A = this chain, B = another copy of it.
């Protein structure tokens, strides 16, 4: 169920003392090869953290040997000192592992605008390297958590055309600031399939577009979001792009669903599906507009099937539709028919945590689903009390 399921990987997670809680806060994932192929996608936020700038360079040659991740500090908006701290983290990791610093990928998550305590990180790297093991994935998953209440892991196993088995494993942390162009999330994906870096890059971009990019908890985009994919080739399997993409989609969709399911303060996980759209882009635009409406999200928290707030949000988009041809259902009850009053809203049961909103644009045949959360007292509480 984790990044050490695929062959060729070791991982560890330890307590370096960065978190006031004393919980694990430093993780390391190492690719022992034979291949060191890698790809990554990053936040599209222009105010990107120091580790994002560093790691973008590291992965640019398609090779990553190790990923070092800390929670307890985002190292974002920390100026030249922050970049120096990321560099030092990579150098120290490289030294301990006997590899090049330019092959060490660095991720950070936590409070923005504070310098990392390097006096704890540097000795912590010795500790985490000493703890590396071929079943350490779960410890790594725990060490990257911030306000997550549970670690998130996923795994896929498949075979290539020759019948050779391979697997894909993943760990993720999320919780708040989940939005398009990725969430506040760090994700490490591993595979023992033998896939060249160019293909990893194409497939990863394709898959994140329809998984992580469509998890939009609160519309806020982070400075640190990173998804990195490492391929060891240790299984000897050489899956086609299609086969590999299917497996990766499954892992990423499962992780994305788990991120939404554990978002800060949420009491409902909401799938906003727009269908019969003129284009996938229209469908995504409409679903995202609804997923971002605070009024809609507060209504779902109140178990109020307020379709007027859905239509209000749909009406702000430039998607192809006629206002008097919109249909909306919630959990199977079509409460809006042709832009006006449909079935009795009292029939809608919003007790279950999972809510399905379906928007029929009657304008084509494309569709897209955005996953989001409701807007709750606990969201306000956590985000007014927790400085992140």
A381 close to B (CB within 8 Å): yes
Task: Indicate how many identical chains form the complex.
Answer: 2
Is there contact, CB below 8 Å, between B295 and A383?
Answer: yes
Q: Please name all residues of chain B whose beta carbon is closer than 8 Å to the beta carbon of A78 when the two chains form the complex.
A: 340-341
Is there contact, CB below 8 Å, between A176 and B111?
Answer: no
Is there contact, CB below 8 Å, between A304 and B384?
Answer: yes
Is there contact, CB below 8 Å, between A47 and B315?
Answer: yes
Is there contact, CB below 8 Å, between A323 and B176?
Answer: no
A45 close to B (CB within 8 Å): yes
Tell me the minimal C-beta distance from A286 to chain B in angstroms: 11
A338 close to B (CB within 8 Å): yes
Q: A113-B307, A312-B222, A380-B377 are in contact. Are A339 and B295 (CB under 8 A)?
A: no
Q: Which of A213-221, A241-249, A363-371 contacts B (4 or more CB under 8 A)?
A: A213-221
Interface centre among A82, A293, A317 (most CB of B within 10 A): A293
A108 close to B (CB within 8 Å): no
Is there contact, CB below 8 Å, between A312 and B112?
Answer: yes
Q: Which residues of A in the span 333-388 have a Cβ within 8 Å of any Cβ on B?
A: 336, 338-341, 375-377, 379-381, 383-385, 387-388
Tell me the minimal C-beta distance from A79 to chain B in angstroms: 3
Is there contact, CB below 8 Å, between A113 and B387?
Answer: no
Q: In the bound complex, how far is the Cα of B301 from the Cα of A317, in angstroms?
A: 29
Q: Please name all residues of chain B whose beta carbon is closer than 8 Å to the beta carbon of A77 when the two chains form the complex.
A: 307-308, 311, 336, 339-341
Is there contact, CB below 8 Å, between A294 and B220?
Answer: yes
Is there contact, CB below 8 Å, between B309 and A112?
Answer: yes
Is there contact, CB below 8 Å, between B79 and A308?
Answer: no
Q: A312-B223, A341-B77, A375-B380 are in contact. Are A387 and B292 (CB under 8 A)?
A: no
Q: Please name all residues of chain B whose beta carbon is closer than 8 Å to the beta carbon of A177 when the two chains form the complex.
A: 295, 312
Q: Please name all residues of chain B whose beta carbon is closer than 8 Å to the beta carbon of A380 when the two chains form the complex.
A: 298, 301, 375-377, 379-380
Q: Please name all residues of chain B whose beta carbon is closer than 8 Å to the beta carbon of A387 when the two chains form the complex.
A: 299, 304, 306
Q: In the bound complex, how far is the Cα of B295 from the Cα of A176, in angstroms?
A: 9
A48 close to B (CB within 8 Å): yes
A313 close to B (CB within 8 Å): yes
Chain B, Cβ-Cβ closest to A345:
B113
A316 close to B (CB within 8 Å): yes
Give 12 A-B pairs besides A74-B308, A294-B375, A379-B380 with Cβ atoms closer than 8 angstroms.
A46-B323, A47-B315, A48-B315, A77-B307, A78-B340, A81-B340, A113-B307, A298-B383, A298-B384, A299-B384, A304-B384, A375-B384
